[in-house]
Chain A
């Protein structure tokens, strides 16, 4: 079989990139970017996941059918996340306010 064998240096490079990006994630969490903190954290995590999928999981060297299979899954995940969140954040499903009744307060241990 003509399987692609990647050089060890590629795997080590990906590993080091993932470690650096983990450091960047932690660092960025302590920088006040307002509403951008969450998207930045998710962008970095998404990029890290892509590196793992593309190189460690060999999707780069797989058939179009495999790539399409993965894309289908991500598409349905996007529907699951986007449609549900659009529903919950736009239709005024506000939760019950948390109780301020002292009777609900904790009993000290």
Chain B
């Protein structure tokens, strides 16, 4: 009797044996996959509301101090911001292709696309370092050394003062600008900083998944970790899709 039970429990040699990746508490791989997808989306919902709180704070201060936001937003570089948007959208494409390669049992290209995604994520973070470095150099980091007028004085000293036609008269006094633009830069560093933290975690995730793909843990029946990391990566991309116009493109047309 006990022998028969043991034999039934270890009958992996049968033709209908479950996939090695299937956990014993699921009926089949499809059910296991569905549970993972729902769970991942529930996690992403908490992330949506996590970033949502910051978006609410941004909106309130933007309504209150719109002129300060418009002035401070011009200090960001459209070139670097636009480039990073393109890099991140490109990394979403390569991530989607990595999932597709896993679906079609293509181990080599799963690894390749994951590595390219990782590299693009690092490029994004590198550009962010360049941007942050520029903010520190121009005294645009809120706090004791914050100096909103430093940038303009610096340009004037170097002989790059704006031409007469380009000069705009801000609606706020220098003292008002000095204080209220700090709110914009506080939000800028909090929102992009939290986003960059998610990118760093994402890059770490990519490396783990690449390693798992390298070890041959995935096939066309089971590639859930690749797809779940993809959901995370695309979510971080979506956050940036909103951050770019909110932070870089406030009232550029004036």
- Write the residues of chain A forming the contact surface with B, with a CB cutoff of 8 angstroms: 1, 3, 5-6, 8, 11-12, 14-15, 18-19, 22, 25-26, 29-33, 37, 41-42, 44-45, 48-49, 52-53, 55-58, 62-63, 65-66, 69-70, 72-74, 76-77, 80-81, 84-85, 88-89, 94-95, 98-102, 104-106, 108-109
Cα–Cα distance between A57 and B167 once the two chains are bound (Å): 45
Write the residues of chain B forming the contact surface with A, with a CB cutoff of 8 angstroms: 29-30, 33-34, 37-38, 41-42, 44-45, 48-49, 52-53, 55-56, 59-60, 63-65, 78, 82, 85-86, 89-90, 92-93, 95-97, 99-100, 103-104, 139, 145-150, 153, 172-176, 178-180, 221, 227, 230-231, 234-235, 237-238, 241-242, 244-246, 249, 251-254
A–B pairs, 11, beta carbons within 8 Å: A11-B100, A14-B96, A22-B85, A30-B253, A41-B249, A52-B234, A56-B230, A77-B49, A99-B176, A100-B173, A109-B145
Indicate if the CB atoms of A42 and B175 lie closer than 8 Å. Answer: no
- Are A106 and B148 closer than 8 Å at their CB atoms? yes
Contacts across chains A and B counted by CB atoms under 8 Å: 162
- Whether A85 contacts B253 by the Cβ 8 Å rule is no
